Amino acid sequence: MTSMRTNPGFVVALAITLALVGIFLPAPAQAKKLNIVTATTDMAALTQEVGGDKVSVESIAKGYQDPHFVEAKPSFLLKLRQADLLVVVGLQLEIGWLPPLITQSGNPRIQVGANGYLDASQFAEILDIPTGTVTRAMGDVHPLGNPHYWLDPDNGRRIAKGIAGKLGELDPEDAGYFQQRYQDFDKRLAAAEQKWDADMKPYRGRKVVTYHNSFPNFAKHYGLNVIGYVEPRPGIPPTPSHTIELIGLMKRENCKVILVEPYFDLKTPNSIARDTGGTVVQYLPSVGGQKDVTDYFKLFDYDIGLLMKALQ
C-alpha cells in the first residue's frame, strides 16, 4: 500500500508547477493599451468612442443575443483574466451569467467593488424603478429598474462621459485624450440627434407594442407611447389569453406597430399583426444586431429608419 503521506506533497508540487507556469507567462503588456471587456456591445461601442486607439475593447454578449441569457463560457474567462476594466450594464441584467465568470477569472482588478469594475447604470437615467413590493408574480422583474437604458442618446452621452472619466482614472497620462474624445463624441452625437429628433418629431405620441419591455428609454426620448407587451410578464413567453387581450387593446387604441427584438420568435407577433392589420418591426436593441450596425450612431440610424417606415 502506498503511503498517503505523499498526497499533500503532490498537491504542493502541483501548486508550485502552476505558480511557475504563472511566472513564466509573458507579463501582460503594460500601459500602451487598456484592455477592456464589456458585458454588451453597446457598452463596447461607447467605450470605443471615448477610448479611441488607446484601448482595445471586446464585448461578451453579441448584439443579436438576448443579454439576459448569455452562456458563461470559459472562453470568456480568457478575455476577462487579461482585462483592466470590465464595464457592465448592471441593474441585474447580467445576474444570470456574469457573477461566476468574474469569480473564476482570477483577476483581482475586475472584481465587484474593485477599481476596474464599472457599473454603467450609475451614469444613466433609469426608468421603471418599482416602488412597493416586488414579487416574481410580476415575472422576471428587475428590482433596481429597467436595465435596457442605453437606447436614449442622452444616456449614451452620460455613459460615455462616465466611461471617459474611468479611463482617465485608470490611465492618467491619457486622461486628456479621453476627455478630448468625449467632447468630440458629444459634438457628433448632438449633430446626429438634431437629425433624429427631426425625423421622429412627426410621430410623437404614436402608439406601439413591444415584445419585451426593453424600449422605455427610447420611447420616452422620442415621445412614443408603449401601450403593451407581447410577453404577458417580463420573461414569460406569450400566452393565448394575453395575446387575445393585446389584440383587443391594439384595435381599441388603433396601434399598428409591433416592435420585436431580434432574438425573439416571430410567430406570435406575426399572428398579432395579421389580426390587427399591423406590421412587425424587428428593431435592434443593441449595436451589432445586424452586420452593418457597427456603432452607437448606426444603431439609432437603423432603428429610426425602421420606425419612420413603419409609422408612416
Partner 1 sequence: MTMRNSFLPFCMTILFGLPLCAQQAGTVPAANDQNAAMEQHIRDLEDRIIALEGQVRMLKSSATAAPAAEAAAASAAPSAAPPAPAPAEALASQATGTQAQVYGGAGGSAAKALNPDISVIGDFIGAVGGNSPPPLATLQPFPSLQMHESEIGLQAIIDPYSRGDFFISFGEEGVNLEEGYITFTALPASFVGKVGKMRSAFGKVNMMHNHVLPWIDRPLVTTNLVGGEDGIDDAGVSIERILPAPKGIFLEATGQLFRGDSGDVFKAFQKNDVSTVDHLRAYKDITESTNLDLGLSYSRGNNDFGPNFITNLYGVDATLRWKPLRRSIYHSFVARSEFVWSQRQQLPVEQRGFGYYASADYQLGRRWFLGGRYDSSDRSRYANLTDKGGSLVLTYWPSEFAQIRGQYEFTKYAEGLNSNQLLMQVIFSLGAHGAHPF
List binders of partner 1 among 4-43 (CB under 8 A): 4-5, 7-8, 10-11, 14-15, 18-19, 21-23, 25
H-type alpha helices, 1-86: 6-24, 41-51, 74-80
Whichever of 1 and 31 has its CB closer to partner 1, that residue is 1
Q: Which of 205, 220, 212 is nearest to 260 (CA)?
A: 212
Q: Which of 231, 301, 242 is nearest to 264 (CA)?
A: 231
Phi, psi of 284 (to 5 degrees): -105, 120
Instruction: Figure out which of the listed residues 37, 50, 57, 124 binds partner 1, where binding follows CB under 8 A.
Output: 124
Whichever of 22 and 252 has its CB closer to partner 1, that residue is 22
Whichever of 48 and 217 has its CB closer to partner 1, that residue is 217
CB of 270 to partner 1, least distance (A): 15
Number of residues this chain uses to bind partner 1 (CB under 8 A)? 82
Cell numbers that stand for 134 in this block = 416586488
Q: Footprint of partner 1 on residues 80-119 (CB under 8 A)?
A: 81, 95-100, 102-108, 111-115, 118-119
Whether residue 218 contacts residue 152, with contact meaning beta carbons closer than 8 Å, is answered with yes
**Is residue 288 involved in binding partner 1 (CB under 8 A)?**
no
Whichever of 169 and 295 has its CB closer to partner 1, that residue is 169
Q: Which stretch binds partner 1 (CB under 8 A): 142-150, 215-223, 272-280, 293-301?
A: 142-150
Q: In degrees, to the nearest 5, what angle opens at C-alpha 150 toward C-alphas 108 and 56?
A: 45
Q: List, in sequence order, every beta strand (DSSP E) within the chain.
A: 34-38, 55-59, 85-88, 117-119, 207-210, 225-229, 257-260, 279-282
CB of 252 to partner 1, least distance (A): 29
Q: Footprint of partner 1 on residues 230-259 (CB under 8 A)?
A: 235-237
Whichever of 5 and 252 has its CB closer to partner 1, that residue is 5
Rounded to an integer, what distance in angstroms lies between the CA atom of residue 306 and that of residue 279? Answer: 11
Instruction: Figure out which of the listed residues 33, 52, 128, 144 binds partner 1, where binding follows CB under 8 A.
Output: 144
Whether residue 234 contacts residue 134, with contact meaning beta carbons closer than 8 Å, is answered with no
Rounded to an integer, what distance in angstroms lies between the CA atom of residue 48 and that of residue 178? Answer: 10
Q: Give the distance between the most distant pair of CA atoms in the chain.
A: 86
CB of 4 to partner 1, least distance (A): 5
Whichever of 62 and 251 has its CB closer to partner 1, that residue is 62
**Is residue 65 involved in binding partner 1 (CB under 8 A)?**
yes
Q: Footprint of partner 1 on residues 189-228 (CB under 8 A)?
A: none
Instruction: Figure out which of the listed residues 44, 45, 123, 272 binds partner 1, where binding follows CB under 8 A.
Output: 123
